[in-house]
Structure 1
Amino acid sequence: MRHVHLWLRAHPWVFDGLAAIVVVLLTLMLFPALSNSGAWIEAFFPFVFVVPILLRTRYPVAALYLTAALGLAALVTFRLPHPAALFTGIVMAYSAAVYTPRRHSWAALALSLGAGLIGGVRWSYVIVQLTGSSYTLGELTLRNQIIALGASVVVACAPLVIAWLWGGVVHTRHAYLQEALDRANRLERERDALARLAVVEERGRIARDLHDVVAHSLSVVVLQADGARHVLETDPARAARALEVIGRTGREATAEMRRLLGVLRSPDTSDAPDRTPQPELAGIEHLVDQVRSSGLPVTLHVRGDLAAVPASAGLSAYRIVQEALTNTLRHGGPGASAEVRAEVRPEGLSVCVLDDGRGAAAANDGAGLGLLGMRERAAAVGGEVTAGPRPGGGFEVTAWLPYESMAVA
């Protein structure tokens, strides 16, 4: 039954056609008797009620008021109530409640009550005849006349009002289903938007990781290659060590980039546990050793247990130190040295990278993306980064990465 209802709702013209056929059959049923009695208007006029029936779904408002006009004409001219007119009134009361705006729906109820009142009063004698009484309406007592008129009005109004009420129930149900469908579509669009936003954020994070990996590794490779070229003839052993550092740095960079790009290539990484690009803060010692082997003297001072730092803050701190040391390698100049300070506090992690190089006097070879990346990484965990030249020369990068903001997020 449910499938039949859904199919009829999707094809309303089927019901319109069936209802029009019913109007025609009801008209033909009384046509011989009315035509033989000479009531040609009453015999032919009911065929016109097919028009609003066929228009009820495409033009419900126009069909409603056309039915009201035709019904009024029938109430005035017909000697007896015609079933085709009553059937059309019932269908249009239901259709007005389902398809028309609220003000027209209330107008349909008022028209139904008015038509029932007029028809009940005009044809109240029919009720008297149906009771089997041999009296006419005028021969009844006043009390019985009032009873007959009231019963006639109720009988005339009841089908129209019931049809209107049922149409209101169907309209409410359709509105609820449409609202649920709209809500589902809206939630689906919001889910897709959030998914796209998550992809954009993930790609931004991976882009920052790629920048850090490539910038740091290439800086080490360039410095070692230059050093090897200068001492190749005078100190082959030192040149060999430099080439060894170049090879190790290149392999490490290649492995980390493979993990990063693997995240982009593979949507399901359940079978690839070593592809997540999350270096730990404890690896900062290896990072400092790698920079030292590139020829930059670096001192590391750590206060507190680095293992107690949350993963998000640890990753951000690692990348900030990596970028700051890479900038020192690029712009510090010959004879520069650096110092890394990390202090683990109960409320957050403090990181400071100092150098005594040329600082702001160094030529800029980019668009400041390294400092921008450091600030973005700190902001992602609710922290902040300050960077600038030191008063006595050199450059300083300070980062504060709190824990509470990450816990709230």
Structure 2
Amino acid sequence: MIIQQVLDRMQITELNAMQKEVLERYDAQQDFILHSPTGSGKTLAFSLLLGQKLSPEKEGVQALILVPTRELALQIEQVIRKVHQGYKVTCCYGGNDTKVERNKLREAPAILIGTPGRVMYHLERLTIRPETINTLILDEFDKSLEFGFQGQMIYIIERLQNLSQRILTSATMMTEIPEFTGIGQHVTVNHLHHAEAAPKLTIKKVVAPAQNKLKALFKLICKNGPKKTIIFCNHREAADHISELLEDREIIHDLFHGGLEQSDRELALLKFRNNSNRILITTDLAARGLDIPEVDTIIHYQLPPKEDAFIHRNGRTARMQASGEVFIIVKPEDSYPYLVEDYEEEVLDRDDYPLPPNSPYATLYITGGKKDKINKIDVVGFLLNLPDIKKENVGLIEIKEKESYVAVERHLAIQIIKEANLQKIKGRKVKVGRT
């Protein structure tokens, strides 16, 4: 594997200091533990290590990557596919169609990414042969423990009798590694407190009594204007309540929490990535492990009880040495031991802040995807063949198994739907609509 080719495919110029140290200190004869903050590039780091373990001549699953959430599994799948072209990669997770997964596993992938419960399901039904797996990666291991997956992980690891290496990553410092992981003699790389990894954050507070918190949030959203913003709540009900307020004011936004269907959650993240919406209201489900680049602002509508959660939420902005701003909305009587007293107060002294502008893009779906051999170039060509559509009118494109999603300039969305519907891509008629 040539690193420069990987960098080109990932569209980055060079590895960061953590990734370089991981490659320098890696020893194929020892286990490996990586402590590094959220957003620091851990996925690419361990993906590069896998390149030293995979063999195109071996049959069966060679590497198993266990992760705590479906969204993280899907994100890792995207990175792994770019890094390890030519190897079959399969992703399995709760909420996905088990029949589809079983069919994919009939021809075993070289790399399997999955959540503990779903991987355990496949092991129990012998759709995964554990004896071929020689590398285990426990990604965001601390989060897996927090989510209560210890029992499933023990079940899985006990069945991996032919492991030659275990790699564990964590965004928090773990003073003790549980015995069930089987981690033995190991190399540790710790970048949690490196200056270059520390986010460049500006933290401000908004003080509002309980009955005025929602009003203060609304003012803050309006004052922030077009900034890309994640609003964190502790509970789904609060997130839903904020969404209702923004819906009433016709402010474009999306919800992301565990009470939503998996397809709705994935679509919310997709639209946030491609700038079809600039406001995402969420719970701590989005605090870790998600690849959401270029977030300008984090708003804590409700503060978490623990400092770790506060840090991980803030890690959604100021990623990879960028800068970002954080707002905490607190009641006058609130007291949190992890907050400092001298945060600058954000003054919201107007009642007439203009509503934030609409996002520049709208997301359209196309009824065709990877199963139909459709790729991004096909979608671009399809759109550019329509009257008056130019390359600069088209934003990010994501191709899924059965459908494709494309961001187009918002003012052109209706025109494109009218002209594109029932036209052909690769000789196949497709439907085009708005998400």
- Asked whether the two chains share a fold, i.e. TM above 0.5, the reply is no
* TM-score after normalising by structure 2: 0.17
Q: Which of 1 and 2 has greater Rg?
A: 1
Q: Report which structure shows greater RCO (CA 8 Å, sep ≥6).
A: 2
Q: Hey, which of these two has a bigger chunk of helix by percent?
A: 1
Q: Hey, which of these two has a bigger chunk of strand by percent?
A: 2
